[in-house]
Structure 1
């Protein structure tokens, strides 16, 4: 047992939260130096699902002419049906509270079935166009399936696919790389408004779900998506040439920062707090730069060069201090 665990256990005993006998049992158990491989095994299961589904995609791409479209679609459909059959057979049914499978492998079987479903519908639309030219429907259908699977099987990984699909349906791409490269918020005001509206919808759904106690452990996922989508859309439009537009999005970013500051304490979510600070800091600097963009600082530029390192060092120190204070407050 390391020093940190030993001190924490001793504090529990001093506060009379555990008995002397419990303290001795905990100390003896930790002295066995037993560690769990649960996280590592789940990681390899998750990796195996990604490799399997990626392999299916590569197989289709390289052998599409020799295998045939009908054969590929039939094979995908059979695999999907088998996966969902075992999942529904072993599932406990829909429950509003957090539930798990008796065997953790089935959780990743749900993920595999859901990814293959997305591949099946996408390939079907690309080859045979059952939805005609309405490509949004080809995105909406797997999104609905993903939301159903996420809530029925209580699967967070599938929920992220569902929210990503929902964002794609309204014209976004919310993968970490594409969100910054492909979404042209600056030149498309409608896309920016859609991003903010989607973020607000996710927040409202989180509030409603918590009120009716519906899968409340999903809240952090919805809020994380909302934070990133709203903040990036707002920051992108702080560079807009129209003063009215960038002022509007400055207010949006300010409201978003304040809300996620409060909600990060409510959920004790370090990730929300850190990204809230980062987005707020970037937005505040851009806002100040826009306010003084027409002011001539040529006479005092040397002062700025001198103060700039101090400003950034002070920002880093303040960031670390805020993180430490947050961690201290949520730990109490």
Structure 2
């Protein structure tokens, strides 16, 4: 790696893109072997927040009979108020553009306060039912709080919680495991809800661009939209047997793939590009198999089996080539 960096820097000098003095300064700086711990420290801060909030959940579960409901809710509320007070005191206030705290620890205090708020409202509803039988409100209220916190404090982690809560409010689970297990076939309205929510998230990103509102949030919205639309469409391509409906979802998947192909280049997001290719590839193969159901392969079945390995090898080569071309374009 060091040899590669040295050669790259030397090539810049040979092309007269940097001066001899600049080259010597770069080499001298690299010889110091200084490296940043910023990413590692932030990871441990994030891990500490997760462990702290998980620990509170375990503590409540194991001592619910001895501590008492009022005491637990009071302790949670005190911690939430203290965290939010400190965060509001040191925040720069709401701004339409990307902002950051001077102290990165505060960003994780916002995350902790938000998670504890969700725990507080959920526990309050479970024990005392302030929303009555309207259990959706117990999901909607912390979702609204999460959106407010995400935009006010410019926190992407809280925004992820907010979008997840919004999906849960309409009946979807959007964790990687639960999203694959959503019963789109048994509850067809879930498919339409997933596609509709994904479409609304895309429209919101377009609106954000027009008014220049937290544009850096768009990648998160688009990531959720891509997964929601694609998985709902693929699920119905496989399982939904009503005539014509599977073809409709094939069109939705094709339109979605085209849009995310364009937008991934515009915002230079390789994550969107890679997942778009994967979902499109799966959709194309399922679509072909659905078409092949109407074709008799009894006479050419042996030829089809021989071609199949070459098809998959060619697909892998094409996938690698597409990724390399994308990296060249955004470089």
Check whether TM > 0.5. yes
Is residue 126 of structure 2 the alignment partner of residue 130 of structure 1?
Answer: no
Cα distance, 1:211 vs structure 2: 1.5
What CA distance in whole angstroms lies between the structure 1 residues aligned with 2:270 and 2:144? 30
In structure 2, what is the equivalent of residue 259 of structure 1?
259
In structure 2, what is the equivalent of residue 270 of structure 1?
270
Cα distance, 1:243 vs structure 2: 2.6
Select between 49-58 and 12-21 the one with higher mean Cα deviation: 12-21
What CA distance in whole angstroms lies between the structure 1 residues aligned with 2:294 and 2:8? 56
What CA distance in whole angstroms lies between the structure 1 residues aligned with 2:80 and 2:168? 23
C-alpha distance 197-49 of structure 1, shift in aligned 2 (>3 A): same
Is residue 150 of structure 2 the alignment partner of residue 171 of structure 1?
Answer: no
In structure 2, what is the equivalent of residue 235 of structure 1?
234
Cα distance, 1:21 vs structure 2: 2.9
SS at match of 2:303: helix
What CA distance in whole angstroms lies between the structure 2 residues aligned with 1:325 and 1:65? 61
In structure 2, what is the equivalent of residue 191 of structure 1?
190
C-alpha distance 323-294 of structure 1, shift in aligned 2 (>3 A): same
In structure 2, what is the equivalent of residue 86 of structure 1?
86
In structure 1, what is the equivalent of residue 219 of structure 2?
220
Please give the TM-score of this superposition, normalised by the length of structure 1.
0.96
What CA distance in whole angstroms lies between the structure 2 residues aligned with 1:129 and 1:48? 31
What CA distance in whole angstroms lies between the structure 2 residues aligned with 1:211 and 1:107? 27
Structure 2: state its 5+ residue gaps: none
Q: Deviations over 1:145-190 (max 9, x none)?
A: 1011111111111110011011111111001110011x11122221
In structure 2, what is the equivalent of residue 205 of structure 1?
204
Cα distance, 1:297 vs structure 2: 1.2
Cα distance, 1:194 vs structure 2: 0.8
Runs of 4+ in 1 over 2 A off after TM superposition: 3-24
C-alpha distance 15-135 of structure 1, shift in aligned 2 (>3 A): farther
Select between 144-153 and 302-311 the one with higher mean Cα deviation: 302-311
State the Cα RMSD in Å: 1.3
Is residue 147 of structure 2 the alignment partner of residue 109 of structure 1?
Answer: no
Please give the TM-score of this superposition, normalised by the length of structure 2.
0.97
In structure 2, what is the equivalent of residue 319 of structure 1?
319
Structure-to-structure mapping, 1:277-288, within 5 angstroms:
277-288=277-288
